[in-house]
Amino acid sequence: MRALLDMGREADGKIIRMNLGPFRPYLVTHPDHLQHILRGNSANYTRDGVFWRPLRRLFGDGIMSDGPSWELSRRTLQPVFTAKHVESLADLMAEAIVEGVDELAGPVASGRPIDVPAAMARIVNRTVMRVFFGDKIDIADAERLAPAFDTVGTSVIFRYLLPSVPESVPVPGDRAFRRAVRTIDEIVTPLVQRHRGRTSEGYDIFSVLCRARDDTGAEPSPAWVRDNLVAMLATATETTAGALTWFWLILEAHPDVAARLVGEITGVVGDERVRHSHLKDLPYTGQVVQELLRLYPVGWLFPRMIVEREALGGVWLERGETVIVSPYVTHRLESFWDRPDEFDPDRFSRQRSQNRHRYAYFPFGGGPHQCIGMHVFMIETRLVIAGILSRYRPVSNGRAIAPPKMGASLRPSRRVELTLRPLSHA
């Protein structure tokens, strides 16, 4: 990752060709070029190639694919995730989050440090399962899914590091990957069998998938329902829990940010239970989350494969080759960001955001594949942060932030633990 960033910095916005033996992807970092690839001519840049193929064994042909099957998936799932619909569910999300935060009381009272990724995953799982999956997956299954998705995300990295090895040749990580996919299918397949064919009015993910019809009016296959369920389960939980894990590391490394954040939350939420209406009065909390996704974009890499040869930025992009698209790199380039390595939430104040290129900051991607869950993420994360910080104070050990480790999503390279102290009113 360090090498990728160094190459990006050296290229300074120009398209370069990386030399990784027989694998020679283009690194594209300039916002104008990213806009062209992700939006302007997105049909020419598909989710295929060495990065997407290994994941196909997990995601199949649903919302994480491309082409007609993706289109049907997107059309089907979109209504669940519009800003308006997600806002209408925000108080339900707040209730589940407050219950999740209540469960921290035991470990806090004992003075034991909390395992942050597990604790964040538990809160996010409870919320997402209730609000978006209509409580059709029980918590025990959801908690078995979380480590399986985690294994998928870390074991696939060998395929990324050995892009020239054909899929028929085993590489380390393959067995763990297959085992994790088997665990996921053991949980998801019976759920698909149970719910498919049932008509239901609801706007939870199960109901909309089971009601879907393709252009000919036919019911989609069980495999399509499975692929979309798996994709939604993976994206709806792992991403948010990952970002919340980075959040606690950042807080520890930036006491000034922590003090201002706590001040804002304490002033607005006080000793109330956090709810949706608090969020409009928590602008700094929102800026911290935006800045968090600038330096630590959980979806740090989402390459594309070139369908037809074309020229971009004075370079011929050859058909069948890979284009590396990485917000992790673009978000850290000096040409587009002032003091890019500094964690400064004020760069997201309204005034300082005004003239920013839309594709200088793209943690949720852009164009037709733009993240469907970004409104969920923005509401859920602020509620979790405000829910915890209105009741507890983190005890800082003054540790510097951990560098990220390679994986399908951006994860810290060390264990993250957190000790919380209750406030007097908690």
For residue 32, give both structure tokens. Answer: 């104008």
**Among residues 31, 373, 404, 407, which is the contact residue for ligand HEM, using CB under 6 A?**
373
255 versus 368: smaller Cβ distance to ligand HEM: 368
Q: Please identify, among the stretches 91-99, 174-182, 367-375, 392-400, the one whose residues bind ligand HEM according to the rule CB under 6 A.
A: 367-375
Give residues 42-61 in contact with ligand HEM (rule: CB under 6 A): 47
236 binds ligand HEM (CB under 6 A): yes
239 binds ligand HEM (CB under 6 A): yes
Q: Please identify, among the stretches 20-28, 344-352, 361-369, 389-397, the one whose residues bind ligand HEM according to the rule CB under 6 A.
A: 361-369
Is 17 strand, coil or helix? Answer: strand
For residue 143, give both structure tokens. Answer: 């908690």
98 binds ligand HEM (CB under 6 A): no
369 binds ligand HEM (CB under 6 A): yes
Pairing between β-strand 45-46 and β-strand 411-412 as defined by DSSP bridges: unpaired
297 versus 387: smaller Cβ distance to ligand HEM: 297
∠ CA 242-247-248, nearest 5°, is 110
Contacts of 258 (CB under 8 A, 6+ apart): 251, 252, 394, 396
**Among residues 119, 306, 371, 416, which is the contact residue for ligand HEM, using CB under 6 A?**
371
Euclidean distance between CA atoms 65 and 60, whole angstroms: 7
Quickly list H helices, 335-419. Answer: 350-353, 374-389
C-alpha dist (Å) from residue 285 to 101, 209, 337, 356, 422? 18, 34, 21, 20, 20
49 versus 299: smaller Cβ distance to ligand HEM: 299
Within a 13 Å sphere around the CA of 278, how many CA atoms are in the beta-carbon half?
Answer: 25
Q: Provide the mask over 70-89, with x wherever binding to ligand HEM is found by CB under 6 A and - wherever it is not.
A: ----x---------------
231 versus 261: smaller Cβ distance to ligand HEM: 231
CB 334 within 8 A of CB 340: yes
298 binds ligand HEM (CB under 6 A): yes
Strand order in the sheet with 114-115: 114-115, 417-422, 392-395
Q: Please identify, among the stretches 98-106, 159-167, 342-350, 365-373, the one whose residues bind ligand HEM according to the rule CB under 6 A.
A: 365-373
State the minimum distance, in angstroms, from the CB of residue 379 to ligand HEM.
10
CB 338 within 8 A of CB 347: yes
67 versus 267: smaller Cβ distance to ligand HEM: 67
Supply the DSSP symbol for 38: I
364 binds ligand HEM (CB under 6 A): yes
326 binds ligand HEM (CB under 6 A): no
Euclidean distance between CA atoms 89 and 130, whole angstroms: 11
Work out whether the CA dihedral 163, 168, 172, 177 comes out positive or negative.
Answer: positive
**Among residues 224, 246, 302, 337, which is the contact residue for ligand HEM, using CB under 6 A?**
302
∠ CA 99-100-102, nearest 5°, is 65
Contacts of 216 (CB under 8 A, 6+ apart): none
75 versus 399: smaller Cβ distance to ligand HEM: 75
305 binds ligand HEM (CB under 6 A): no
62 binds ligand HEM (CB under 6 A): no
Place of tokens 């009272």: 109
**Among residues 63, 72, 279, 420, which is the contact residue for ligand HEM, using CB under 6 A?**
63
299 binds ligand HEM (CB under 6 A): yes
**Among residues 31, 100, 153, 297, which is the contact residue for ligand HEM, using CB under 6 A?**
297
377 binds ligand HEM (CB under 6 A): yes
Euclidean distance between CA atoms 54 and 167, whole angstroms: 8
**What distance separates the 2 farthest-apart alpha carbons in the chain?**
64
268 versus 299: smaller Cβ distance to ligand HEM: 299
Binding site for ligand HEM (CB under 6 A): 47, 63-64, 74, 231, 235-236, 239-240, 243, 293, 297-299, 302, 363-365, 369, 371-373, 376-377
